[in-house]
Amino acid sequence: MKIIQNLVKQKLEEKVKAEKSYKLNVMVKTSVPVIIGDTKIFPGEKKLIELSISGIYTQSPISIPVHVINGKKDGPVLLIIAGIHGDEINGIEIIRRLLRSSKFKNLNGTLIAIPIINIYGFISLSRYLPDRRDLNRSFPGSEKGSLASRLANMLMSEIIVKCTHVIDLHTGAIHRSNLPHVRANLENKNTKKIAKSFSLPIILDNKSIDGSLRQACDELNIPLILYEGGEALRFDELSIRAGVKGIRNVMHYLDMLPTRTTKKASSILPKIGKSSKWTRAPTSGIFHPMKQLGEQVEKGESIGIIVNPFGTEETSIISLTSGIIIGRNNIPMVNEGDALFHIVSFKDTSSISPKIEVLEELGPYISGPLFDIQTTK
C-alpha cells in the first residue's frame, strides 16, 4: 500500500537521522537509543513514556503509557501491545505481569510494551473509540482523518516503524470466550517461526483483515502474531498465564532472554488450523451448550440445544464442520443467527485432539508459582 510506504518514509526522514536510521526489514537493531516522541532511551535504560493524544470533549488531557526497556546488547525490537479494543483487558494484565520480571536485567535488544492503546474505549468499557470506529480496522491511519485514523497513524509513525517484531494481545468479544491460541499469516516464514515459538496447542493460519494492524505490519514486512484468550471485560487466569509464558517463549526464541533451563513449554507441537467457521443459532431462545472450549466436534453432531423459555420445545444445534472449538458464546439468551461456537478445522483430521489432550498440553504450560502477582512490599 502506497500510503504506508509514504508514511514510513516521511516519519523516518523527520525523526531519525542518517547515522541512527532504523532498518525495518532486519532482525536486530543497532546500538543506538530508541526514540519515541521527544524521548530517547539509551542502551541499558528503562523508561515510562506518556504519549499525548487528543483529549476528550471535557478538555481532560489523555496520554498513552509506553514502557521501554532498552537492553545493553544488540537484539530485536519487540513490541507487545494490548487494548486495541478497549474492553479486552486480559492483555493489560499479561503486560503488567511480564514487566515485573527480573529477567530483563540481561535483555538483548529492546522491549516496548503498551498495555492500553485504546485508552478511550478502556475508560468507557467499550470495544470502540468515541467516534464508534474500530481501531483495528483503521490502520495505517492518517494525520487528518477520524479520531481512530489519527490514533492508528500515531502508533504507526511513533512505534511500529521502529520495531522488528510485534505481538498483539486480544480476547473474545463481550459474552464470548476464546481458547488460548495464536492467529497469524503463516505464508511469512518469520511469522510462522514466531507463532510456533509461542508454544500453544493451536495456531489459526489466516489472512490479515483490511485495515488491521496485522495488515499494516505485513506491508512493512514486520512479523506480527495475534494472541487470543479469554473474554472481554473479564480476567481469565489460564489465558493470562498462557500469554505471559508465550511471550517469554518468543523472547527466548529471539535470544532476547538468557537460555532457559527447561524445555517444557517448547515441547508443544502446535496443530495448525487452516480455516474456521461459526455455528450460529438456528432459532431464538435459551442456549444450552453441550460442548466446551477445546473439545473436538464432528460435522453433523449435535453440540447444544436452544429451548423455548415458555414451553418444552427444543431445537438442536448442529455443527457445520469438524474441528476443535476455539470460541464460544457465554450468554444464554440468544436470537436466531447469533454466533454460538467458533470451530477451527484442520486439513489433517488425525491431528485433532480431544478436549482432555488439549487441556493436558495447556496444564503444564500454565502451571507454576504465582510469583508474578505477589504484592510489592
Which DSSP string do the residues of 304-331 spell out, in sequence order? EEEE-TTSS-EEEEEPSS-EEEEEEE--
| Contact (CB, 8 A) for 38 and 84 | no
| Contact (CB, 8 A) for 257 and 105 | no
Give the residue extent of every domain in the chain. Answer: 2-271, 275-345
Asked if pLDDT for residue 98 goes beyond 70, the answer is: yes
The β-bridge relationship of strands 296-297 and 34-36 is unpaired
Cis peptide before 140 (omega within 30 of 0): yes
Cα 79 from Cα 108, distance rounded (Å): 14
Q: What percentage of the chain reaches a pLDDT higher than 90?
A: 76
The β-bridge relationship of strands 202-205 and 271-273 is parallel
As a whole number, mean pLDDT of residues 356-363 equals: 65
What pLDDT is attached to residue 11? 46
Q: How far, CA to CA in Å, does 2 sit from each of 51, 140, 224? A: 26, 11, 20
Asked if pLDDT for residue 5 goes beyond 60, the answer is: no
Cα 192 from Cα 366, distance rounded (Å): 22
What type of residue sits at position 239?
S
| Contact (CB, 8 A) for 91 and 122 | no
Closest by Cα among 53, 257, 260, 7 to 148: 53
- Summary count for the chain: helices (H), strands (E): 8, 19
The burial of 26, by beta-carbon neighbours within 10 Å (0-12 exposed, 13-18 middle, 19 or more buried), is given as exposed
What pLDDT is attached to residue 372? 46
Q: What percentage of the chain reaches a pLDDT higher than 70?
A: 82
What pLDDT is attached to residue 57? 86
What pLDDT is attached to residue 2? 54
Asked if pLDDT for residue 335 goes beyond 90, the answer is: yes
Could you please state the CATH topology (level 3) that the domain comprising 2-271 is classified under: Aminopeptidase (3.40.630)
What pLDDT is attached to residue 65? 97
| Contact (CB, 8 A) for 167 and 314 | no
pLDDT digits (tens, 9 = 90+) for 43-83: 999 999 999 999 888 888 999 999 999 999 999 999 999 99
pTM for this entry: 0.88
Cα 266 from Cα 98, distance rounded (Å): 18
Asked if pLDDT for residue 14 goes beyond 80, the answer is: no
Closest by Cα among 150, 141, 123, 168 to 53: 150
Cα 342 from Cα 340, distance rounded (Å): 7
Cα 128 from Cα 134, distance rounded (Å): 5
> What number of residues does the chain have?
377
Across 28-42, 167-181, 303-317, 320-334, least confident range? 28-42
The β-bridge relationship of strands 176-184 and 323-329 is antiparallel
DSSP code of 177?
E
What pLDDT is attached to residue 354? 53
DSSP code of 265?
G
The SS3 call for residue 77 is: strand
The CATH class of the 275-345 domain is mainly beta
As a whole number, mean pLDDT of residues 189-217 equals: 96
Beta bridge partners of 51: 64
| DSSP calls for 269-284 | --EEE-EEEEEE-SSS
What pLDDT is attached to residue 376? 43
Tell me the pLDDT of the chain averaged across its residues: 87
What pLDDT is attached to residue 26? 40
What pLDDT is attached to residue 375? 42
Indicate the angle between helix axes 355-366 and 237-253, nearest 10 degrees: 70
Asked if pLDDT for residue 12 goes beyond 50, the answer is: no
Cα 121 from Cα 84, distance rounded (Å): 9
Higher pLDDT, 254 or 377: 254
Closest by Cα among 61, 52, 67 to 97: 67
The SS3 call for residue 373 is: helix
What type of residue sits at position 211?
G
